[in-house]
Amino acid sequence: MNNAEKFSKLHTDGDTFVMANAWNAGSAVLLEEAGFQAIGTTSAGIAFSHGLPDYQGSLSFDSALSETRKIASAVSIPVSMDAEDGYGETAEEVAGCFAKIVASGAVGAGIEDHPGGGGRALYDIEEAVDRVRAAREAANNLSSHFTLTARAECFLVGQDNAFAESVKRVNRYREAGADCLFVPGIKDLEMIRQLVAEVDGPVNVVMGLSGKSISVAELRDAGVARISIGGSLARATFGLVRNAAREILDQGSFGYAEQQIPDSELCALFSNKN
């Protein structure tokens, strides 16, 4: 079974799995070593590592794809790319980007319905459906098991009747060929249960954000297929750097060093990947 088949099966085998999100090859290798079955990229984490803000349009498609290619080459487990809104103004451009994503070694990717610009909060639903369909068809031309995740950004942009609109949208995206459905911004467990009940397909939920923590066990009980962590691990890493810098400059101490992985251990780990 190849990685594309493995990743697809993870969404349909009836259990809940956690897909950690990496922002470069090194972080991906550490996540694989820890035991994760699959890795997603995080556009936020990649942008931050390039010294850029997490705004659509700040991180170029070429930069995001380059990091995805490096991540996929560094690990043996499935990798899914955070492809933002498909990096294209038209469905045809989205299709072109997804063809390159499949060729990069990624076995999945996500597309969201929030445009990178133009002053609109969301793509019109029919336009969004066309973009999902274009991504699906482009992937199918190169891979028989590519996992397409479609996101409805209604909660994140403050859409009226966000839950009902999200359900309507992701079910349409499912009809257009999406394999996994994602509605970021829901933090209430009961609403997650309701989402799973009303969505016709595997549901992804993002954890690691602010607010009340929901456990893997609770999300498994709610019927969630996949849990991702978005850019939270990357932000936590940047938090460590900031706190270490403050400790050195403000206190003149180096306590942060107690958390480091020994040089020899990292060298051995990364040598095994080359």
DSSP string, the chain: --HHHHHHHHTTSSS-EEEEEESSHHHHHHHHHHT-S-EEE-HHHHHHHTT--S-TTTS-HHHHHHHHHHHHHH-SS-EEEE-TT-S-SSHHHHHHHHHHHHHTT-SEEEEESS-SSTT-SS--HHHHHHHHHHHHHHHHTT-SS-EEEEE--TTTTT-TTHHHHHHHHHHHHHHTT-SEEE-TT---HHHHHHHHHHSSS-EEEE-SSSSS---HHHHHHTT--EEE-TTHHHHHHHHHHHHHHHIIIII---GGGGGPPPHHHHHHHHHTT-
Q: Across residues 12-40, what is the average pLDDT?
A: 97
Q: Residue 201 pLDDT more than 90?
A: yes
- Which of the residue ranges 75-79, 95-99, 142-146 would you say has the lowest mean pLDDT? 142-146
User: In this model, does residue 214 exceed pLDDT 90?
Assistant: yes
pLDDT for res 274? 59
| Residue ranges of domains in the chain, CATH in brackets | 3-232 (3.20.20.60)
Mean per-residue pLDDT of the chain: 95
**pLDDT number for residue 119:** 65
Segment 217-245 mean pLDDT: 97
Residue 207, pLDDT > 90, answer yes
Cα–Cα distance for residue pair 225/110, rounded to 1 Å: 15
What is residue 56's predicted lDDT score, i.e. its pLDDT? 74
pLDDT band at 117 (very low <50, low <70, confident <90, very high): low
pLDDT band at 55 (very low <50, low <70, confident <90, very high): confident
Average pLDDT of span 183-189: 94
Confidence of residue 118 (pLDDT cuts 50, 70, 90): low
* pLDDT at position 67 over 70: yes
Q: Is the pLDDT of residue 229 over 70?
A: yes
In the predicted structure, residue 248 carries a pLDDT above the cut 80: yes
Average pLDDT over residues 194-214: 92
- Residue 109 above 90 pLDDT? yes
Q: What is the per-residue pLDDT for 243?
A: 98
pLDDT in tens, 152-182: 999 999 999 999 999 999 999 999 999 999 9
Residue 212 pLDDT: 73
pLDDT digits (tens, 9 = 90+) for 35-47: 999 999 999 999 9
Residue 236 has what pLDDT? 96
Which tokens hold the place of 107? 């076995």
Residues 6+ away with beta carbon under 8 Å from 124: none
